[in-house]
């Protein structure tokens, strides 16, 4: 598999975004967001999406010079218009505000309309965690989830992310879509020529399918929990709750009103809704970070069913991936990904990715 | 099935709690909490548990005269010691505080230690919703969930509840444990003599089981999502996130430290952690209730796979059950439940339940 040095990936992302019209500061911020996904092993949300973000700038869906504004605020809240700026621009603006309010009032709860895709939700929750706070981030998205009993899609993958600081630099990190599986996982099964498990997706008849290609073409993902008898309605409820925080509070499009995100998108702003929250543990019982560390230890020390598969605490997988990337100094991409980037380099006029 | 008038159920609950030592105001509040569960069709959390609550008072785990106190507060937060008071006493104290702070500062986020069981989480979220706010409630519990890959239990059923007001008196309500199924659902399968689906519970060997009795005896519930390949780690993550809000912030026992809840419990206070939050939609974009109503309508109008099973929006099932109870004026209980209550009536010295 081709390998690219981490700083070279960042250089390529930044230059490509700048070439497309983003100011240096915002290109850098957005590159950091995408790089974080690749570094932690969530390749679907990293370099893989650079072309989509650049296409959004070209099509006018994203205004790379857009500046978010506060429309209304109180001690612990803010309503923001993201003004169709880049995901990282809105994310930094809103989470900085939530952190500031949490430090002053105990909680900061910020909901924004006029948003574009903001990458991994966990990146934003982590930003507050690094300030010693509990961070949370939510976003809605185009409708790919089929609510329980429904033949039609209506909800987004609507992720929830939460990071909490733990003693000794540790953290407990959650970052999960409210669907059982992401579309990217179905693509991986197609590439491997393997079926998908029951409970991931429906076929066009509204019935379960294990045919990865059919599931991909149909694009009807089941909520976390799968079918009704295994409580799939709970994943649907989770998605609806996140919808309330994102579009409900901000006045953005609800997921069922959001256009799909593709290289052909030319319908202007998706007007996504996003929500950023921070809570200051100092306002509660002393010893928060020690208690979180205690839970992490308890989870990690559980006896595994299969001794070769240790129990992972929330966030451990991403931490291990980040360490591996750091040790290696490079990120590994499929050749197809490199080819796409080289074509992109030619289009926007930047130096192609240098493979090690 | 025996039927009991709603006001007679309430009379019986109140008198029994008073006979056990609860002051009239708190007995009334706790009866309202339990009654709500039966009225909305969640029988596991209603009259079914009265004996457990009374046993907690008798054993000294619950102090029916306990008065919660604020230990620390800021504009948007409060840290509370529930002082082992009745669940409804702590719930009312904390949610009233969260509502007050949300009206003043936009958000109220209250975390309490020293708690007993507070019944249905949704009851508390609904309390804020009735004030025109988004309400949220979380609790930890004794460990019954087996984290992904683990052979041992470590997490509680840790529910999340969220209610949001919608236009025309409607609401979007979420109230879900972070396990796939509740223990009560496994009991129902035992009574029916039917197996449980894969993905609900593990046997003592850490492998999946469909044997309801074995699952019940083992008491190892899988997180929402089931096994690793269907993203069971997301349910585990959800439970861990709720743990942070409940015991992390408050300093209560973490779920893995909480003793089990049974009629034999005599180990004193469970010292549960609970978290109550309220968010004021008026601090965000105008038209919140209309947008929530719009989503509810979109969900309800989805084409169902099976025309006889319409798509339900979050909270619709409970609303329909409540309407049915209201129309009928009575609640239906299993004869076994009536027998248990009659025995309880004799023990505490109150008039037995009058069956219609």
Contacting B residues, span 169-198, partner chain A, CB-CB under 8 Å: 172, 174, 176, 180-181, 197
- pLDDT tens digits for range A127-157: 999 999 999 999 999 999 999 999 999 999 9
> Is 90 exceeded by the pLDDT of residue A313?
yes
Q: Considering the entire predicted model, what is its pTM?
A: 0.98
Q: Which residues of A touch B294 (CB under 8 A)?
A: 254
Residue-averaged pLDDT of chain A: 96
The segment(s) of chain A belonging to CATH 3.30.60.50 are 181-216
Per-residue confidence (pLDDT) for residue B263, from 0 to 100: 87
Which of B150, B172, B292 lies closest to A311 in CB terms?
A: B150
Give the whole-angstrom CA distance, residue B238 versus residue A162: 9
Per-residue confidence (pLDDT) for residue B262, from 0 to 100: 87
As its CATH architecture, domain B68-180+222-300 has: 2-Layer Sandwich (3.30)
Mean pLDDT, residues A85-107 taken together: 98
Per-residue confidence (pLDDT) for residue A209, from 0 to 100: 95
Helices (H) then strands (E): counts for chain A: 12, 11
Per-residue confidence (pLDDT) for residue B246, from 0 to 100: 98
- pLDDT tens digits for range A214-236: 999 999 999 999 999 999 999 99
Cβ within 8 Å, pair A249-B176: no
Per-residue confidence (pLDDT) for residue A264, from 0 to 100: 84
Cβ within 8 Å, pair A249-B181: no
Cβ within 8 Å, pair B107-A76: yes
Where does A1-59+319-356 sit in CATH, by number?
1.10.1530.10
Cβ within 8 Å, pair A298-B256: yes
Give the whole-angstrom CA distance, residue A90 versus residue A71: 14
- pLDDT tens digits for range A201-216: 999 988 999 999 999 9
Mean pLDDT, residues A28-38 taken together: 98
The segment(s) of chain B belonging to CATH 3.30.1370.60 are 68-180+222-300
Residue-averaged pLDDT of chain B: 96
Per-residue confidence (pLDDT) for residue B191, from 0 to 100: 82
CA A38, A252, B178, B68 torsion-angle sign: positive
Nearest chain A CA: its distance from B340 CA (Å): 30
Mean pLDDT, residues A72-81 taken together: 98
Token reading at A228: 């009704």
Contacting A residues, span 3-62, partner chain B, CB-CB under 8 Å: none
Per-residue confidence (pLDDT) for residue A184, from 0 to 100: 80
Per-residue confidence (pLDDT) for residue A263, from 0 to 100: 87
Q: Does B226 touch chain A if contact means CB atoms closer than 8 Å?
A: yes
Give the whole-angstrom CA distance, residue B63 versus residue A292: 29
Nearest chain B CA: its distance from A15 CA (Å): 36
User: Which stretches within B121-273 are classed as H helix?
Assistant: 121-129, 183-192, 212-218, 232-243, 249-250
CA distances from B93 to B115, B137, B308 (A): 12, 13, 43
- pLDDT tens digits for range B224-269: 999 999 999 999 999 999 999 999 999 999 999 999 988 887 889 9
> Is 90 exceeded by the pLDDT of residue B294?
yes
Mean pLDDT, residues A153-178 taken together: 97
Contacting A residues, span 115-154, partner chain B, CB-CB under 8 Å: 134, 147-152, 154
> Is 90 exceeded by the pLDDT of residue B187?
no
Give the whole-angstrom CA distance, residue B42 versus residue B63: 26
Q: Which residues of B touch A148 (CB under 8 A)?
A: 311-312
Homologous superfamily (CATH) of A181-216 is Hypothetical oxidoreductase yiak; domain 3 (3.30.60.50)
Contacting A residues, span 250-269, partner chain B, CB-CB under 8 Å: 250-251, 254, 256
Listed residue (A180, A140, A198, A188) closest to A41, CA to CA: A188
- The proportion of chain B whose per-residue pLDDT surpasses 90, expressed as a percent, equals 92
| Strand segments (E) across B103-178 | 107-115, 134-139, 160-165, 171-176
Q: Which residues of A touch B304 (CB under 8 A)?
A: 149-151
ipTM above 0.90, yes or no: yes
- CATH fold of A69-179+222-300: Ribosomal Protein S8; Chain: A, domain 1 (3.30.1370)
Listed residue (A174, A107, A294) closest to B79, CA to CA: A107
The segment(s) of chain A belonging to CATH 1.10.1530.10 are 1-59+319-356
- pLDDT tens digits for range B136-173: 999 999 999 999 999 999 999 999 999 999 999 999 99
Q: Which residue of A has its CA nearest to B178?
A: A234
Give the whole-angstrom CA distance, residue A222 versus residue A235: 8
* B1-59+316-356 CATH choice from 3.20.20.220, 1.20.1250.20, 1.10.1530.10, 3.30.470.20: 1.10.1530.10
Length of chain A: 356
Per-residue confidence (pLDDT) for residue B170, from 0 to 100: 98
The segment(s) of chain A belonging to CATH 3.30.1370.60 are 69-179+222-300
Least confident of A100-104, B187-191, B294-298: B187-191
């Amino acid at each position: 598999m081709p390998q690219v040095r981490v700083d070279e990936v960042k250089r390529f992302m930044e230059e490509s975004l700048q070439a497309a019209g983003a100011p240096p500061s915002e290109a850098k911020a957005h590159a950091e967001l995408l790089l974080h996904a690749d570094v932690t092993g969530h390749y679907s949300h990293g370099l893989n999406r650079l072309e989509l973000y650049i296409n959004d700038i070209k099509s006018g869906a994203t205004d790379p010079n857009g500046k978010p504004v506060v429309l209304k605020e109180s001690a612990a809240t803010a309503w923001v218009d993201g003004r169709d700026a880049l995901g990282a621009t809105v994310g930094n603006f809103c989470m900085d505000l939530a952190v500031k309010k949490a430090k002053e009032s105990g909680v900061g709860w910020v909901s924004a309309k006029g948003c574009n895709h903001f990458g991994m939700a966990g990146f934003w929750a982590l930003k507050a965690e690094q300030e010693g706070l509990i961070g949370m981030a939510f976003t809605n998205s185009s409708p790919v989830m089929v609510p329980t009993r429904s033949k039609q899609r209506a909800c987004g993958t609507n992720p929830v992310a939460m990071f909490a600081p733990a003693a000794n630099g540790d953290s407990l990190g959650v970052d999960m879509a409210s669907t059982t599986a992401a579309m990217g996982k179905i693509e991986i099964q197609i590439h491997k020529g393997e079926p998908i498990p029951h409970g991931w997706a429906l076929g066009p008849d509204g019935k379960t399918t294990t045919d990865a290609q059919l599931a991909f073409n149909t694009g009807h993902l089941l909520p976390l929990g799968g079918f009704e008898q295994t409580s799939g309605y709970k994943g649907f409820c989770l998605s609806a709750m996140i919808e309330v925080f994102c579009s409900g509070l901000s006045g953005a499009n609800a997921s069922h009103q959001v256009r799909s995100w593709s290289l052909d998108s030319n319908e202007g702003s998706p007007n996504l809704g996003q929500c950023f929250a921070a809570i200051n543990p100092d306002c509660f019982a002393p010893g928060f970070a020690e208690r979180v560390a205690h839970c992490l230890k308890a989870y990690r020390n559980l006896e595994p069913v299969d001794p070769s598969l240790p129990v992972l605490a929330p966030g451990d997988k991403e931490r291990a991936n980040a360490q591996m990337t750091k040790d290696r100094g490079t990120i590994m991409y499929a050749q197809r990904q490199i080819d796409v980037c080289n074509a992109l380099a030619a289009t926007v006029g930047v130096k192609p990715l240098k493979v090690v």
